[in-house]
Amino acid sequence: MQASRDASREASETDESDYPTPPPPPPEAPSGAAAEEEGRPRRGSMLSAEDKAKREAERQAEREAAAAAAAEAAASMAEQAAEMAELAGANEQLKKRVADLEKENKELRSLVESTKAECKAELKDLQEKVRDGETKRRKMHNLIQELRGNVRVFARVRPFLPGDKSKGGDPKPWLSVLADGTSLDVLAEVPGTKAKSRAPEATHSFTFDKAFSPSDGQDVVFEEVSEFVQSALDGYNVCLFSYGQTGSGKTHTMQGIGSSGMRGIIPRAVEQVASYKASLEEQGWVYTMKVSFIEIYCEKIRDLLREGGRGKKGAAYDIDHKIAKNDHGANEVTNVNMVAVDPADKSAIAGLMEVAAAARATTKTDMNEQSSRSHSVFTLHLSAENAKLNASVVGQLNLCDLAGSERVDKSGAQGQTLTEAKNINKSLSALAHVFESLSQVRRAGPSSYRALPSLLYMGQVRALYPRCNTGC
């Protein structure tokens, strides 16, 4: 066995010796530390003083750099710690402020809710007082009107017109309004004097509720009668008449001219209704207003706002109109057009006035170039409801432009014009009877044979407005 192993070893050695020996591997490059170490003198070798000093300086610089970096890191950490502490303090203050604000907000909300409740209660109380005050005002206003007189008489003297002639050529006016504003003096001739001599004069004095001089404008006249408009809105039936002889300017007083200072009572009254209406609607009232415009011509009622014939006299005159009681106990005319209006719409009101004026019966007489031959009645029908008060009111504002009384010998009326004059004078006499009864505190029933007093009779008349000429 031993011989066998030895033989194998020899064979192996013989085989290896047959190949050339490989060259040794190249030496590995030294690492950074090793290279540095290699560059330095080996331990135990001697270093020069210069190298030692250099090594010591490098080490000292490394130590100083490390110390500076450590100091800078420490300062940064201290600064960050201070900032964190400051932020933590600010955060605490903000939390406290938020808590205070939430508390304050809660208190303010509670105060607002409490104030709102108090305001609502106070507002409700004030609204109740306003409604009570309005009710008292309505009662007091109309009580004052009744105390001053449900029937009042005003007089207005118009100025001389270019065509007027004074008696005897004397320019002295025969009518003069005194300074007290209620008295009127009339100069009259004394009968029984010689024909060739100038007749002596006698002065007759009259007292009215108000007297307007020729210099008083339309606004002054309306201001005196405007309080009756409020009565209509309060649910009363109101009548304003313009009465006087033909040519005295009644239509001018009631209707006026244009849309400026010459406006008459009718357009001014409608404007005032619009103003009052807006004020009352703020208190919960809801108004409905309609207008009718008729004329009474020879005891026949005609609709001046009739359909199919506005501004024209034709077949529409054949419509039969009667005076009957309505649901509210007031007299009204049947089969007339009731035009819904907004009193604030001036153009619409002016349009209705123009239509009625074009349709009204007029003619020329010796006393008047355009004499009205009928009584015209402009009626504003008012109704209102207040849901809060559970109340409603119904009123009428009747503005009447009466035909002028005339003396046939002066007007020169003949034929149909004469018939018109007779009917005008008779109806005015019947109306005068009604007012005479009212002035004597008697119940004045409507005149059964005349249309005018029957139409306007409402148990209570608010005003009579006469008009006087300078020569009446």
**Residue pLDDT, tens place only, 463-472:** 444 444 443 3
Tokens for 469, please give them.
């000429």
Predicted confidence band of residue 192 (pLDDT cuts 50, 70, 90): low
Instruction: Locate the DSSP E strands across 73-214.
Output: 154-156, 175-177, 183-189, 201-207, 210-212
Of 297, 303, 393, the C-alpha closest to 339 is: 303
Query: What pTM, to 2 d.p., does this model score?
Result: 0.65
Q: Which fold has domain 231-456?
A: Kinesin (3.40.850)
The proportion of the chain whose per-residue pLDDT surpasses 90, expressed as a percent, equals 13
CA 180 to chain centre: 39
Which H, E and C letters describe 178-204, residue by residue?
CCCCCEEEEEEECCCCCCCCCCCEEEE
User: What is the rounded average pLDDT of the residues 188-215?
Assistant: 72
pLDDT digits (tens, 9 = 90+) for 41-95: 554 456 788 888 888 888 888 988 998 999 899 999 999 999 999 999 899 999 9
Contact of 338 with 292, CB cutoff 8 Å: yes
pLDDT digits (tens, 9 = 90+) for 155-183: 898 887 766 665 555 556 778 888 898 89
Tokens for 301, please give them.
């009622």
pLDDT above 70 for 369: no
Burial class (CB in 10 A: 0-12, 13-18, 19+), 128: exposed
Of 397, 353, 411, 400, the C-alpha closest to 375 is: 400
Task: For the chain, give the mean pLDDT.
Answer: 77
Contact of 406 with 413, CB cutoff 8 Å: yes
Predicted confidence band of residue 111 (pLDDT cuts 50, 70, 90): very high
The proportion of the chain whose per-residue pLDDT surpasses 70, expressed as a percent, equals 72
User: What Cα–Cα distance (Å) separates residue 229 from each residue in 235, 275, 382?
Assistant: 10, 11, 11
In angstroms, the CA 101 to CA 97 distance is 6
Predicted confidence band of residue 99 (pLDDT cuts 50, 70, 90): very high
| DSSP tally for the chain: helices H, then strands E | 11, 15
pLDDT above 80 for 131: no
